[in-house]
Amino acid sequence: MNSIDLGGLLGLNDLGRYLDQVNNMLLDQIKLAEPSIKKAANRILLHGGKRLRPVLVIASAMCQGDKANENIIKLAAAVELIHIASLIHDDIIDKSDKRWGIPTINNFEGIELAILVGDYILAAGLRLSSEVNQQITQILADTYADMCNGQSREAGQKFNLQRSTRSYLTTTDEKTARLTSTSCQIGAIENHFSKTKIISLGSYGHFFGLSFQLIDDLLDLLSTEDQIGKPVGNDIKEGQYTLPVILSLKNKPNDNLVSLLNKTPVTVSNFKSIVSILEKDGSLLKTIKLVKRNNRLAGTSLTDFKKTIIVNGLVSLPKTYTDWALAIQSVL
């Protein structure tokens, strides 16, 4: 499946060049690391991901006609380093074997080195940001603390059949949406946008981040490892009940679903039965409905901006991403 042409969508003809600069900065930040840390970090950084958060930094900074100077590229790289550090730590917690189609550090090099690499990359991101703006570095540090809080809250909800929608949305905000929100704000801060515009971009990133995580949760139920580059069904297996399961348990109590969730380990057959229940009772479609609502709210957050090509692209990005991510499933 082809990836989204973010440069074309956002009207950023030089996006490829900007991301090349980001990639070079990522590697440059770990060049002084101890060899085993450097080797493992290089392996992950080179494979990367969608680089969505650096794109949001760059696009937000440029959305009212400003340029993406070296400081904006540094901030884009800093955000990606912080994001990747969080993923390395998440993979340790989730005992994940793969990410982006390659072995995780905890699987290939071991948990001890994975912890060190994640910590090193986090420090590198904050160090890089500090070269640009101390206020932004503080914002990034606060954001990472929120992400840790969200991960901790989620861990406390494992195998909780009474988990509330509010609990899920709170942890999703902290764990995922805070970083997308921050990504949309820091370039605007560096380019001296008004406080109102900075807040609006943060709101855009918040709603897009919620939508992004909901889609990720849906793909964990509906996709395959080959399609998304990491094992599927992990949320159910680890007892992390995401919104479709929560809705099913809350709105239509189902003894069969409870029985299947209580069975350990979760077999392939049981997992398919769980997904079938979520399809039949409408919980998957209700989740998609919330995705679309968040997409609309993200777009309306930018209503007061001057309508540039980039702003129009940002408004359309959440829906475009949703359509792309779920196109391989017949659920839209």
What mean pLDDT comes out for the span 213-219? 95
Helices (H) and strands (E) in the chain, counts: 18, 2
**Are residues 188 and 200 in contact, defined by beta-carbon separation less than 8 angstroms?**
no
Nearest 5°: CA angle at 59, between 73 and 309? Answer: 145
Is the predicted pLDDT of residue 28 greater than 50, yes or no? yes
Is the predicted pLDDT of residue 323 greater than 60, yes or no? yes
Is the predicted pLDDT of residue 331 greater than 50, yes or no? no
Bridge partners of residue 102, in order along the sequence = 99
Is the predicted pLDDT of residue 40 greater than 50, yes or no? yes
- At residue 1, the 3 state secondary structure works out as coil
**Spatial separation of the C-alpha atoms in residues 83 and 124, rounded to whole Å:** 12
pLDDT on residue 264: 82
E strands present in the chain: 98-99, 102-103
Name the residue with tokens 């209700």: 286
241: which DSSP letter? -
Is the predicted pLDDT of residue 184 greater than 50, yes or no? yes
**Are residues 49 and 80 in contact, defined by beta-carbon separation less than 8 angstroms?**
no
**Spatial separation of the C-alpha atoms in residues 40 and 42, rounded to whole Å:** 5
**Spatial separation of the C-alpha atoms in residues 215 and 89, rounded to whole Å:** 21
220: which DSSP letter? H
pLDDT single digits (tens) 102-154: 999 999 999 999 999 999 999 999 999 999 999 999 999 999 999 999 999 99
Can you spell out the DSSP letters for 104-126?
A: -HHHHT-HHHHHHHHHHHHHHHH
**Are residues 101 and 227 in contact, defined by beta-carbon separation less than 8 angstroms?**
no
**Are residues 32 and 330 in contact, defined by beta-carbon separation less than 8 angstroms?**
no
Is the predicted pLDDT of residue 177 greater than 80, yes or no? yes
**Spatial separation of the C-alpha atoms in residues 185 and 197, rounded to whole Å:** 9
State percent of the chain over pLDDT 70. Answer: 97
**Spatial separation of the C-alpha atoms in residues 283 and 285, rounded to whole Å:** 5
What mean pLDDT comes out for the span 232-253? 89
**Spatial separation of the C-alpha atoms in residues 68 and 148, rounded to whole Å:** 30
Is the predicted pLDDT of residue 99 greater than 70, yes or no? yes
Is the predicted pLDDT of residue 300 greater than 70, yes or no? yes
Residue 231's closest CA among 90, 40, 137, 132?
90
pLDDT band for position 329 (50/70/90)?
Answer: low
**Residue 59, Cβ neighbours under 10 Å: how many?**
28
What mean pLDDT comes out for the span 262-272? 89
Whole-number average pLDDT of the chain: 93
**Are residues 173 and 210 in contact, defined by beta-carbon separation less than 8 angstroms?**
yes
**Spatial separation of the C-alpha atoms in residues 271 and 248, rounded to whole Å:** 15
Q: Is the pTM of this model over 0.85?
A: yes
pLDDT band for position 48 (50/70/90)?
Answer: confident
Is the predicted pLDDT of residue 332 greater than 50, yes or no? no
Q: Which residues contact 157 (CB under 8 A, 6 or more apart)?
A: 163, 167, 171, 240, 241
**Spatial separation of the C-alpha atoms in residues 185 and 180, rounded to whole Å:** 9
pLDDT on residue 240: 93
**Spatial separation of the C-alpha atoms in residues 90 and 112, rounded to whole Å:** 14
